[in-house]
Each structure stands twice: as structure tokens, then as C-alpha cells.
Amino acid sequence: MASPMRSLFTDPARYLQSFRLFLANSTEHQCMHGFIQRHLPAVIASIGNGKSTINILSVGGGAGEIDLLVLSKVQARYPGVPINNDVIEPSADQICKYKERVAETSNLENVKFTWHVETAYEYESRMNAEKKSKKWDFIHMVQMLYYVKDVPATIRYFHSLLEAQAKLLIILVSETSGWENLWKKYGSSLPLDDLCSYVSSADIKRILDSAGLKYQVHELPSSMDITSCFVEGNKDGELLLDFLTETCEFSKTAPPELKRQVMEELRKPECSEERDGKVLFNNNLSVIVIEP
């Protein structure tokens, strides 16, 4: 009998709701902020040397929170230099939020924003069709490589767009995270469709090594409070479970045995730690900085 489980991506509104709850319940953005404050200045230190304009491409820019932090660091390094910031983001809803955020942010006079409501693959196809290969001084792909069909090809394509002193920055879940453990064990039982695949820093390092590319890795410790997942009927807990399993209404549609195993797995030390009565899921991230 066909499973009633379906991918969370078949319901974009529920996906966004669960994603925003994930951000609220995790240190995801805080740990990215910490990296941007402490380490990004060194990463971008020479991307704009001798340039009259700096070109930045954000692949999967979401609602722009991380993008604007990145821009503030580039502005601090290259005061007054005009910046073109192009954003590839398939969610019109997220782009709306991004535009609102830009409107509320001061000191962006020297930044020209261009939004492309499309996926990374659609962008690549359009550029190839138009025979364009615009080069970029900095490209970043934050938490988006799960949503591309061909990860090696996507990295290869965007890497080919780097200027001589540019950098490609990727942020995604670390191989030390609970995600790695949960997905390696149960990914095959979950309704992952073409819209999402499970990749971690281990996969990206293998791809880069086989392509002979030079890179550095920074590990960012992060956690997510999933205590509510263990409260029967808790709405937030159900949404977080959906996000963890990438399954729409997981607690209602998963076979009882699978649900029991996943709930048990989430409490194991490989996935989470229990502290002060809370269950904290290991949400560690890796930042991978790739040379041209």
C-alpha cells in the first residue's frame, strides 16, 4: 500500500512555517552571525582589490538576513565602493521579506539589489541560454544545497563564475550534526522527493577533493530546542518534527513503528543532549570557503 507520507515541500506554506519555527528554536542564525563577525572579514579581505565595483551573488538568499550581514562586512572592508548584490531565491514570499528588510536598513545607498525569482538550476539554464557568464567577486550558498538536483554540477557551475581573487562560501549541516545521524539511518524511510536531498559537509568535501579544489572548513556549534516534539499534540512540536524529517504532518502520517524509532533516535546522544530538562538537537554547521 502506498504510504500516506509526503514531502514537506509539497506544502510550501507549511514548509516556511516550520522553517521559521526552526530558526526561532535554534541558534542557527546566531552561530552564523558569530562566524560573519569574527571570520568573514578575513575571507573577503582581497575580493575587491583594485575593483571599481564589487559583484556579489547570493544563491538561495532567503529573506536576506544573512545577506545583509555579509554586505555590511564587505562595505566595512571597501568603504564607498559600489556593490551589485544579485539574489537567486525561488520563494516569492521570502523575496518579499527580503525587500522589506532592505527598505528598513540604512547605509545601503551604494548597493544595487537585483532579485531573481528562480532556482539555482533555472538561473544557470537561463544564463546558458542567453550565452552569459557574468563573473562574481563573492558567491555564497547558505543552507541551500539540499534543494538542488545535482550537487557536484551546481558547485562546479558557480565555482566557474569566480573572478581571480573571489571566494565561494558554502554553509550547510556538519557531518558532526544530529542531522547526519538521523538522515543516514532513516532517510530511506522518509518521503524525500526530487525537491530535497540530504547532504552534509562530508559530501561537499568529497566533491571538492575529487575536483581538486582548495578550501578551508570552519565548524560552527549550534543546537535546536526540540523539547516540544515530545509533547503529544503540541503544534510547534509537530511542525519541528516535520522540519526534522522533511515530511508533511509526520506525526499524523508516519507508520507507528517508524515514528517510534525516529522519536527514540532523536533522544540519543548521537542526535541530541538533554540539559536543564530540555532536549537540544545537535544542529552543528560547517562553513566551507572555496578558492577560485
CA distances from 151 to 24, 117, 146, 242, 268 (A): 28, 20, 8, 24, 30
**CA–CA separation, 226 and 216 (whole Å):** 31
**For helices 65-77 and 28-38, angle between their N-to-C axes, nearest 10 degrees:** 10
**CA–CA separation, 101 and 222 (whole Å):** 25
The reported pLDDT for the residue numbered 183 is 87
The reported pLDDT for the residue numbered 1 is 42
Q: Which residues are paired to 218 by β-bridges?
A: 287
**CA–CA separation, 55 and 137 (whole Å):** 5
Count of residues making up the chain:
292
**Cell of residue 196, nine digits:** 530535497
The reported pLDDT for the residue numbered 196 is 67
The reported pLDDT for the residue numbered 4 is 83
Low-confidence stretches of the chain (pLDDT < 70) are 1-3, 192-196
Annotated binding site: 28, 283
User: First CA to last CA across the chain, in angstroms?
Assistant: 50
Q: Which residues contact 194 (CB under 8 A, 6 or more apart)?
A: 149
Task: Read off the pTM.
Answer: 0.89
The reported pLDDT for the residue numbered 195 is 59
The reported pLDDT for the residue numbered 238 is 96
The reported pLDDT for the residue numbered 3 is 60
Residue type, 268: K
Annotated binding site for substrate: 28, 283
The reported pLDDT for the residue numbered 130 is 93
